[in-house]
Amino acid sequence: MKRVITYGTYDLLHQGHINLLRRAKELGDYLIVGVTSDSFDRGRGKLNVRNNVLERVEAVKATGFADEVIIEDYVGQKIDDIQKYNVDIFAIGSDWEGKFDYLNEFTKVVYLPRTEGISSTMLRAETTTDVRVGIIGCGRVAKRFPAEADVVNGVKITALYDIDQMAAEVLVSNVEDVMVCCSIQELYEVVDAVYIATPHLSHYQYIKDSINAGKHVLCETPMVLKGEEAKELFVMAEKKGVILMEANKTAHCPAFNHLIVMIKSGVIGEVVDIEASLSKLWNEQKSLRELDPEQAGGSLYELGSYPLLPIVRLLGCQYENMNLYSRMKKGVDLYTKGVIRYPHAVCSFKVGLGVKTEGNLVISGTKGYAYVPAPWWKTDYFELRYEDQNKNQKFFYKWDGAGLRYEIQEFISCIFNKRFSTSRLRRRETVCMAEVMEQFTNRKNFMEI
């Protein structure tokens, strides 16, 4: 049997792809098609927002030409696959002429004629209308957003608004072709979606107003500080047909998602314990929003969403009990430790703005454990460790820029594909984290230390 292999992204599958697959199939008896993974595409600088890897695999299968579909996940995999599958012919489009001649050492390389006048890039340009995004709140966090959005296809920053117009003027000086709006209504008139980076207590009203204006919403974490508010807003958004998403950069980080998927697949057995911590030391003498009790300052409101993330992602939202222990000063918690009990697991998280702690993530299981060193919330490396150290594995990834590009990509993808919830941070998980914030606000199961 003559085996043929070919590779591609197959984003927005079109007639050119189908013609190429048919020609590759005609070269032999068995066609293997390699589809690039989302993480591999990101590593090559592609942050497209249309079809994820599962959708692209299904599209290739639907053509009927592929006898087997595999995922291309790393540089150099083509050589490994050719040897692994005992491939007779490597086929690729003629626009790659000469680029894969090095594979002649391992198999026969054939460059197939491509269909003229059609490509994914062309289709994307013709079918993708940029989502016009307005920024509400132009403080420290928002300053990173324009540069991060610039590397994501299908998004354009068009307007800024801040109650302090000077803050908006400072931000706009670094962004081209963006207008500073004098009112929120003026911003709504020129955008399709908004990114909210205002103080925590203003999130609820800005989200509600934006949804009522028919705008998609990406809101900085924590989205809101009450569980019922989160539920209400998600119901409103779906009824209005708009996307509402919490902007938790760790949730959309490629390495963190790979870690979660691996652990859910059972590589360390059943999870019985999770320890996550994150802390910063800030000058208490400075007048910072993060240390102001009137603006929902404190370590849990400011940082809690991050260590709560791996807990709810892996063990869910149906915990049995949670106790909170805080060191308070001038009305804010400079340090909080939470202990969460599940039916078959126990977890703890620590956050601090005036206490420094080791910022690691450790996930313990019945077969081994996962270790992610600080700053684990910007995951670019993790280890799987076992009793037999020869089985230990290390995983390295690339963290690009400030990391906001990953959440922006997912947000725009949800808009294009009309997905009201992202699997990276489900609506119920955002609700759960808001309920934790609310428990702290109400000082339920709380002890000051």
- CATH number of the domain to which 205 belongs: 3.40.50.720
What pLDDT does residue 42 have?
62
Q: Are strands 393-396 and 381-386 parallel, antiparallel or unpaired?
A: antiparallel
Question: Where among 189, 221, 248 does a domain terminate?
Answer: 248
368/386 Cα distance (integer angstroms): 5
Predicted confidence at residue 114, as pLDDT, reads 79
Instruction: Based on the fold, state whether residues 84 and 98 are members of the same structural domain.
Output: yes
Judged by phi (left if over 0) then psi (alpha if -120 to 50, else beta), residue 126 lies in alpha
> What integer pLDDT is reported at residue 43 of this predicted model?
58
Order of all β-strands in the sheet with 155-161: 179-180, 155-161, 131-136, 193-196, 216-220, 244-247
Tell whether 437 is covered by a domain.
Answer: no
282 and 222 co-located in one domain: no
Whether residue 258 sits in one domain with residue 373: yes
- Note whether 181 and 85 are same-domain residues: no
pLDDT of residue 95: 87
Would you say 47 and 40 are in contact if contact means Cβ atoms under 8 Å apart? no
Residue 287: CA count within 13 A, CB half-sphere: 1
Cα–Cα distance for residue pair 316/305, rounded to 1 Å:
14
At residue 206, the pLDDT reads 98
Give the mean pLDDT per block of 10 residues along the chain (449 residues): 93 86 95 84 58 82 95 88 96 92 95 72 59 95 92 91 91 87 96 97 98 98 98 98 97 91 95 96 70 90 97 97 96 96 98 91 98 94 96 90 92 91 95 98 96
Asked whether residue 44 is assigned to any structural domain, the reply reads yes
Q: Residue 45's pLDDT is what?
A: 56
- Count up the domains in the chain and report the number: 3
Token pair in block for residue 248? 């938790």
CATH of the domain at 369: 3.30.360.10
pLDDT at 344: 96
> How far, in Å, CA of 415 to CA of 193, rounded?
9
Q: Which residues pair with 245 in a beta bridge?
A: 218
Phi and psi, residue 188, nearest 5°:
-60, -30
Domain endpoint, select from 64, 95, 123: 123
Token digits for 337?
């430790």
Tell me what pLDDT residue 15 has. Answer: 87
The predicted structure's pLDDT at residue 327:
96
H-state helical runs in 5-119: 15-25, 38-43, 53-62, 77-84
Quote the domain boundaries for residue 349: 254-398
434 within some domain:
no
Residue 271 DSSP SS3: strand
CATH number of the domain bearing residue 115: 3.40.50.620
